[in-house]
Structure 1
């Protein structure tokens, strides 16, 4: 009986892990550039010594990330950029490593450093991008950053840097615990001139809220089944003990 209880308990525990993945996806349905995580369950045999596997238990896991593209929403803001098609904006992660994002809601800090919406430096030709004082900042479709220096006339433009745009193979990308996308081997990527940006647009998350909510409800029902199974096992164990006491 204890083996059956363990299987039901392990199944319930893994259902809770899958619930956490789907709940996180649903919570980020409105997060700019968010890439949804997959959740799957596997059936694994339980082996006891040299005997055959007569029981199986489930294991929930996150096999990867959904790299399908979200929709593009027009914002009209000069520093909002959406990547068209495949490709990523290279940024500097808090640990100093190179990471990638499609969340192009950019901003300037008081020192002129170009940052993402969550305050991570955007990388250019020679590292994090820093701009001198300017009355206007423009971003080109190829990532080129042009400014009108402070106090200059409207016909005076200066090209300062270029946002690093990369296109690694999606099979080589992994999402870290911090939510950032990185190359599986930690390799820095070379800029790809074929990637284009669309100014004044942001990419929505690729989360399908209906699918995520349906999955959460289905998992809740499965959890209830496992709880009932444990209750039945308890009742059977009590009945068996009662029978032994009457012998």
Structure 2
């Protein structure tokens, strides 16, 4: 098989991965706190570093997955348990296995025991790392995260920051977990907006343009693959001439 055929196949596979990423972004347009993935490509020159090759084959490969943590737009929802983070940081969520995850999605609710939970039913943790229990949903959440029921403070939402967000990987649609033992620090001056939600950081027009561009690139790799296949077929026919 022609080495160019391998290059075309690797290019097509890379573009398919890019299309999968774009499809996920479009599906999550209305998901609060969603952070889009960034798909990047790198060229790998086969045997180019060995110093012994007479020629090098250019392959396309995906680099390590990255996440764009830029803020989405903040929109008013009117629900007293909806909270948007205006700035950096994450809510801390207790996962079923006892570990914790981090999220920007702030459309919370109360379960039957009065625990503040996310849309997955996982408890939201306070500044002290404990679960938050509220007497009723109609509470007042201040910009610093303190929660008041009338004149009584009944909890405080914790906002946590990572020095390097590149250590975070997606776990599910809107949850993030560190891939190593990195630990966040408590944000001392958070800015929370009650009755608001942060939208997905996906620009629909730009994403649609990226999809069109990527489809054209995918079609180009298909044409290249056909050309190399035809070349291999003709070379095989020539080799059979006696």
State if a TM-score over 0.5 links the two structures.
Answer: yes
User: Are residues 40 and 134 of structure 1, via their aligned partners in 2, closer, same or farther at CA, if it must alter by over 3 Å?
Assistant: closer
Does 185-194 or 162-171 show the bigger shift?
185-194
Mapping 1:208-223, distance limit 5 Å: 208-223=203-218
Q: How much has 1:60 moved relative to structure 2? A: 2.2
Contact 1:18 1:61 survives alignment (8 Å): no
Q: Return the TM-score normalized by structure 1.
A: 0.87
Residue 199 of structure 1: which of 194, 202, 222 is its match?
Answer: 194
User: Are residues 136 and 27 of structure 1, via their aligned partners in 2, closer, same or farther at CA, if it must alter by over 3 Å?
Assistant: closer
- The 2-side partners of 1:163 and 1:107 are apart by 13
SS at match of 1:44: strand
Which residue of the partner structure matches residue 158 of structure 1? 152
User: Are residues 134 and 203 of structure 1, via their aligned partners in 2, closer, same or farther at CA, if it must alter by over 3 Å?
Assistant: closer
Q: Does 1:65 find its partner at 2:67?
A: yes
Q: How much has 1:53 moved relative to structure 2? A: 4.6
Structure 1, unaligned runs of 5 or more: 149-156
- The 2-side partners of 1:122 and 1:204 are apart by 19
Which residue of the partner structure matches residue 39 of structure 2? 39
User: Are residues 15 and 138 of structure 1, via their aligned partners in 2, closer, same or farther at CA, if it must alter by over 3 Å?
Assistant: same
Contact 2:76 2:195 survives alignment (8 Å): yes
- The 2-side partners of 1:20 and 1:30 are apart by 18
Which residue of the partner structure matches residue 234 of structure 1? 229
- The 2-side partners of 1:184 and 1:235 are apart by 45
Which residue of the partner structure matches residue 21 of structure 1? 21
Contact 1:67 1:170 survives alignment (8 Å): no
Q: Does 1:12 find its partner at 2:12?
A: yes
Which residue of the partner structure matches residue 132 of structure 2? 129
Q: Return the TM-score normalized by structure 2.
A: 0.88
Contact 1:40 1:61 survives alignment (8 Å): yes
Does 63-72 or 137-146 show the bigger shift?
137-146
Does 175-184 or 119-128 show the bigger shift?
175-184
Q: Does 1:168 find its partner at 2:185?
A: no
Question: Higher Cα Rg: structure 1 or 2?
Answer: 1
Which residue of the partner structure matches residue 180 of structure 2? 185
How many residues align? The count is: 238
Does 204-213 or 50-59 show the bigger shift?
50-59
RMSD of aligned alpha carbons: 2.2
